[in-house]
Amino acid sequence: MTTNKDWRKKAHIALDEHMFTGAPLRMTLDSFAKGLGISRQTLWRDKSVMQKFEQCKVNSRTKPSKNPKDLRIAELENLVERLKNENGLLLLNFVLACTKLRDHNLDPRLYFSEIASDILKQFPSIKLSQFYDGFSEQPS
Quote the pLDDT of residue 79.
92
User: What's the pTM?
Assistant: 0.41
Q: What is the mean pLDDT of the chain?
A: 78
Quote the pLDDT of residue 76.
92
Quote the pLDDT of residue 140.
46
H helices of 2-107, where? 7-21, 29-36, 40-45, 47-62, 68-103
Residue spans of the domains in the chain: they are: 7-62, 68-130
Q: Are 110 and 83 in contact (CB under 8 A)?
A: no
